[in-house]
């Protein structure tokens, strides 16, 4: 029997910019970045149109990479209530797209993501991003913070996958 290739789509949710990262587990047990970047929506468009853009982009990524799982960062807190509500609505569109594609979906808080990638739940964002690049073999700095965060979310899902199997 051929072992199933594990591909995880990580998402850093947002409505103005959604970060995404796709990673694959190699036969060696190491992880490799397949794709990463951001989906930007125009503030000139209606909010519902922006949600549709996010959903369409996510559906495209799912069809292109055929992930087994999707991991999404949980909304941890926000000082701006309006922004928090809009990000929460974007998360809803993201989760719905993943569920409609039949993906297993994991959700993680920022401290859980930092713990999984650096070993310290209160790590600085830059420290986490350097570790993500190092683990995935990406040379240099990942240009977008949102894409780096999405890769970290995917890695967190990959690092915690064995825990689900043990339960």
For 20, the enclosing helix (H) or strand (E) is strand 17-25
- Distance linking the first and last C-alpha atoms of the chain: 25
Give me the number of domains the chain comprises.
1
Residue 12 annotated as catalytic? yes
Range of the domain at 97: 7-166
Please identify which of the residues 24, 53, 73, 149 carries the catalytic annotation.
73
Please identify which of the residues 24, 86, 106, 146 carries the catalytic annotation.
146
User: What would you report as the CA-atom Rg of the chain, rounded to the nearest whole angstrom?
Assistant: 15
Q: Please tell me the predicted confidence (pLDDT) of residue 146.
A: 96
What is the rounded (10 degree) CA torsion for 58, 36, 158, 112? -90
Question: Is residue 1 one of the residues assigned to a domain?
Answer: no
Q: Please tell me the predicted confidence (pLDDT) of residue 167.
A: 43
Residue 35 annotated as catalytic? no
* Percent of residues, the chain, with pLDDT higher than 70: 92
| Structural tokens at position 112 | 């859980």
Question: Is residue 2 one of the residues assigned to a domain?
Answer: no
Residue 146 annotated as catalytic? yes
Please identify which of the residues 12, 24, 86, 106 carries the catalytic annotation.
12
Question: Is residue 146 one of the residues assigned to a domain?
Answer: yes
Task: Tell which wins on pLDDT, 118 or 165.
Answer: 118
Question: Is residue 114 one of the residues assigned to a domain?
Answer: yes
For position 81, which CATH number holds? Answer: 3.30.420.10
Quickly list H helices, the chain: 47-65, 81-100, 110-118, 125-136, 145-166
Q: Does the structure show a pLDDT above 50 at 40?
A: yes
Residues in the chain: 167
Q: Does the structure show a pLDDT above 60 at 165?
A: no
């Amino acid at each position: 029997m051929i072992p199933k290739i594990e591909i995880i789509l990580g998402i850093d949710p947002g409505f103005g910019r959604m970060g995404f990262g796709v990673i694959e587990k190699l036969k060696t047990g190491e992880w490799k970045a397949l794709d990463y970047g951001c989906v930007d929506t125009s503030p000139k468009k209606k909010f519902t149109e922006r949600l549709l853009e996010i959903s369409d982009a996510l559906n495209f990524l799912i069809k292109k990479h055929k992930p087994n799982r999707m991991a999404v960062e949980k909304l941890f807190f926000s000082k701006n209530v309006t922004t928090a509500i809009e990000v929460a609505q974007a998360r809803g569109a993201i989760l719905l797209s993943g569920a409609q594609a039949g993906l297993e979906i994991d959700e993680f808080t920022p401290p859980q993501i930092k713990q999984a990638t650096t070993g310290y739940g209160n790590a600085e964002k830059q420290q986490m991003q350097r570790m993500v690049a190092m683990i995935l073999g990406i040379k240099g700095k990942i240009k977008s913070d949102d894409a780096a965060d999405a890769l970290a979310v995917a890695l967190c899902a990959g690092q915690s996958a064995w825990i689900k199997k043990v339960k």
